[in-house]
Structure 1
Amino acid sequence: MAETLVVIPTYNERENVAAIVARVRAATPDVHILVVDDNSPDGTGAIADGLAASDSSLFVLHRAGKNGLGMAYGEAFRWALARGYERIVEMDADGSHAPEQLPSLLRAADAGADVVLGSRWISGGGVENWPKYRELLSRGGSAYARLVLGLPQRDVTGGYRVFTASALSSIRLENVHSQGYGFQVDMLFHAQRAGLTIVEVPITFVEREFGVSKMTGGIVAEAMLRVTLWGIGALPGRVRGWFVR
């Protein structure tokens, strides 16, 4: 069995799902793929089923409805751990996370990283076809979360990541309660607190060509509120750490 599972959550991605699966196959032929579809009204799940019918390394997990990215990934992680996968990859369905860059993330995991972050905000990383306001929003969100939570990583909100199975076990998924945009920050915060080895690898994030982004200002605002509450909760421990040093 393949050691690596690439998890691709979908909701109304009929224009993208076949293309992203083909690109993953071309870039990393030996991985398995799990499409997690939230009962997409546009028929994405049925397209994924059709792809799986002719690909024994492609699986589809159908969920009852759109209940948040965190719920989709949490269910997928548990599915992967139950089947013995050693590395689990998070990847968007819309092509913004280039599968062609996945081998460099996997090499970092092979070199000993517990968690690998595809990073837009380190040397060699970047974005394409983004309006300036969106770049500022993303950079600002990462900077705020880093400051409030004491995270050293540069890109804390990105969703192109590799986790080892042991890392997911150390994070304890039952303690990760975020469902939306804040899920990625929540996972990284738990990984940092668990003392895991976290490595950033530069990626270029490309804006989707087809479909509609799920990101809204309200989602971002909710995530920043959660980050603030986590920071307040963690503050006593951080203060004690300063004095111990």
Structure 2
Amino acid sequence: MLELRPDYRALLLTVDGLIPGPGDAMSEALLTRAEEFARAALAESAVEDLPHVAAWREAYRAFDAKPQRTRNSLEALTRRAPAGLPRINRLTDTYNAISVLHQVPIGGEDLDRYVGVPRLVRASGEEPFDTTAEGVGVMEHPEPGEVVWRDDEGVTCRRWNWRQARRTQLSESTTRALFIIDALDPCTDEELATVADELVAHLSTSGAELTVRRQLLGRPSG
């Protein structure tokens, strides 16, 4: 998506050997830290004026998405954090908390539910997107030209980092995952690496012996 945002980078982190399950003391402590961080940040600034949130709002406008209606995952979590972040499962709670703490969007995908390789594309509008509406499973389609992550079966995340498909969400049985850490300026490649290091460190606290691979997409910062 460099034609839209030349400063865009994504650090793809594949992690094998995860120990899944419900939230635990580690993930709860991390969520609490993230909630406290967001309260302090929003006491000083409106959420839309936070530098990384503002950058993603601008990126959404570049493909005609309205950021007031469809908020990127970072903004949505940061807005929600002061009143309490969601508690979903150990893996999801961990990356959600780190997303808020480091102010970068992070997505998590179950690799065993993935079909083919992940790629970031402009949608044709015909791709299937498995989601829910009012608690009921539905199949939707992205808007033509929308920025989406997809695999061979369909869209895995709409509007760059807005909403994930049900099919590839992390669950309490996930042992292999792909984490997508998105960056726009002012986030640097060094900061991206720090986010990845912290994520892996927290995922390892259960005693898991992880196999980790990293790939940086996009132009190096600086």
- Under a length normalisation based on structure 2, what TM-score does the superposition of the two structures give? 0.30
Select the structure that is richer in strand: 2
Give the number of the structure with larger relative contact order, counting CA–CA contacts within 8 Å between residues 6 or more apart.
2
Larger Rg: 1
